[in-house]
Chains A and B, each alone.
Chain A
Amino acid sequence: MAGIVLENLTKNFGNVKAVDNVNLEIEDKEFVTLLGPSGCGKTTTLRMIAGLEAPTSGKIYFDGKAVNDVPPHKRNVAMVFQDYALYPHMNAFQNIAFSLGMRKIPENEIREQVTNTARLLRIEHLLERMPSELSGGEKQRVALGRALVRKPAVSLLDEPLSSIDAKLRDEMRSELIKIHERFPTTFVYVTHDQVEAMTLSNRIAVMQNGRVHQYDTPINLFHKPVNTFVAGFIGSPTMNLIEGRLSKDPETNKVTFEGPDFAFPISMAVGDIHLNRKSVLGIRPEGVLVSEEEVPGSFRTELYTAEVRGEFTILKLKIRDTILTSRIESGRGFKNNMYATLAKGYLFDENAQLISTF
């Protein structure tokens, strides 16, 4: 099995830096997700781990051995592609059996392994069909079967759920968790969907423009985002990010965050270096508490929109020109003018890095 180490990994396509000095350590049997918007370099990184792209510079280690010069068919990795990439001229059985056949495994063993894997993925009845005769979800499972049947050291998944419709996607997500339990190998997963990443992974590497912003467990990413990008990317609905300035009253020594439309007193200590500079205030929608009566420290707001999403309702509240998103339980009801209290939040400096939380 394999722990993977990416060391100063860089990939340039002409002048474009697709992957910029990425350093990552993935432990054996871990489920790690590369998360980020399109173009952030996550798929390129995955392909370099697979050996399908050669790094411009940097090294990749499997279990301590450098594999830069090892071609993909010798790396013992398996991959599930976004478009499944099933061999159209072979049926499901042959698709799954293909890699076993390449290793000259005797036929009866192949048959046994393929059937076992198919049974675990519940596609035993589909083995005789051609890919063109399978639905999206079925093709996905065949692709998974093809990847897992040979118990690879590393399984790479490139946005495998993005071509599946929403409902099936939820199902497949739970199945993937089960599959990782049953086939304990290292999983490297690529997606732009943070819900997927959060539910599936042991650790997530949040990427943008070829760099890794933060590499941590889902909980830590959620509660301790290292900058505004991560804070804004993780969590749904998106965190409220308000730009403003930090100022300190020389007499009272109290620090205030001055946004464009309201000022907010900061209770934690803030280093002098951040004073009188640009700052970003981050509040998650769950941290915007709403009350119908005025409460000390709250702001009067005007209701902009309300979206009832089943159990929760998302309210967009306007304080002059700033819009705050708040999440409340639907039973509570809402009015046109309510008062918003900012409870939990984050403070980011002018470089979008985290200063403190409150």
Chain B
Amino acid sequence: MSVNSMRQAETLKKTTLFIVSILIIVFTLSPIVWMVICSFIPDSDLYRTPPFFFPQKLYVGNYQFLWGQELEELTGATPGVFAQARNMLASVGNSLIVGISVTVICMVLGIFSAYSFARVPMHGSGKLLFYVFFSRLLPQVAILVPIYIIIQALRLLDTLLAIVLVHTAFAMPFFVWVLFVYFKSIPQSIEDAARIDGCSRFQQLRKVTLPISKPGLIAASIFAFMTSYNEFLFASTLSNTIVSRTASATLTAVAQGMGRYSVALFMACDVIAILPPLALVLVFRKQVMEGLVTAFRR
């Protein structure tokens, strides 16, 4: 290849990289950016064609409203939807409570199961693992009705407990799976050494396996938390009042009013809602990425 054509190929490559990079940025960020922009615009300015792409000033009224202030311009047509939005912060709080509870339960139950599947020889271990994993893959919509009926029968409608239970059932399989793969990647000889050195299975888990497994544990926990946080169908179906509303449930309720009034306010709700999971993923991105990859690698 001549020097010139090599240089041409080089520039072609650089230009393609640049174009696609811009594409990636636009692709990934544009909905989020638009969400943020709209949350800082007063509603009246939103219902214009064309919209203000870049507002001159940042309007914080939407956020002030969510923080509890009353603002005249934000009296909407349907108090119901507004009341929902009002609860945004509280519902994010609920989401955090539920998410953390789900994660804790997953840890208590899931660590032992995952470890047992990975390392403890037992008849039927493989079949049980398949069973655990399998339960997640079926469409959740399918069990919406039965769960509703069951929760109703247990008089647990509109409680955070119900949501925690349901979400744990959703989060557990993937949690166990991620940890299973992770535990399997630990050299068995280290665990054998621990047991020869005097550890029972339980002690070995506590003193040797778990300290080494921190990245896997972090990843699995984040996945559990996010599964719970993202879940909206059951969260909204099983809750009626703010008592048990999660962030996703509130957003679902808010969505009923979309496009008709106070979109800016709802965008502000949205921004607040996405902050916790976004922060979590950005801070722990390394563990998250490794966790996702190992889980699918098998």
Contact = CB atoms under 8 A, between A and B. Distances in A.
A and B touch in the complex (CB under 8 A): yes
Q: Tell me what chain B mostly uses at the interface: helix, strand, loop, or mixed.
A: helix
Given A73-B197, A87-B212, 7 more contacts: A47-B192, A71-B195, A85-B189, A86-B193, A88-B190, A102-B203, A103-B198
B187 A85 contact: yes
A83 B189 contact: yes
Nearest to B204: A73
A211 interface: no
Nearest to B195: A72
Interface string B198-242: 111001000010011000000000000000000000000000000
A79 interface: yes
B195 to A, nearest CB: 5
Interface of A: 47, 50-52, 54, 71-73, 77-79, 81-89, 98-99, 102-103, 146
B194 interface: yes
Contacts of B193: 79, 81, 85-87, 146
B190 A73 contact: no
B196 interface: yes
Interface of B: 121, 187, 189-190, 192-200, 203, 208, 211-212
Contacts of A73: 195-200, 203
B191 to A, nearest CB: 8
A283 B255 CA distance: 90
B188 to A, nearest CB: 9
Nearest to B210: A89
A86 B199 CA distance: 15
Contacts of B187: 83, 85
Contacts of B192: 47, 50, 52, 72, 79, 81, 85
Nearest to B189: A85
A62 to B, nearest CB: 14
B189 A81 contact: yes
Nearest to A103: B198
A72 B194 CA distance: 10
Question: Which 4 pairs from chain A and chain B are nearest by CB?
Answer: A102-B198, A85-B189, A99-B197, A85-B193
Contacts of A86: 190, 193
Nearest to A98: B197
Contacts of B203: 73, 102
B189 A88 contact: no
Nearest to A53: B121
A99 B196 CA distance: 8
A72 B196 contact: yes
A79 B190 contact: no
A84 B192 CA distance: 11
Contacts of A71: 195, 200
A71 B202 CA distance: 13
A87 B190 contact: yes
6 contacts: A50-B196, A52-B196, A54-B121, A73-B195, A79-B192, A82-B189
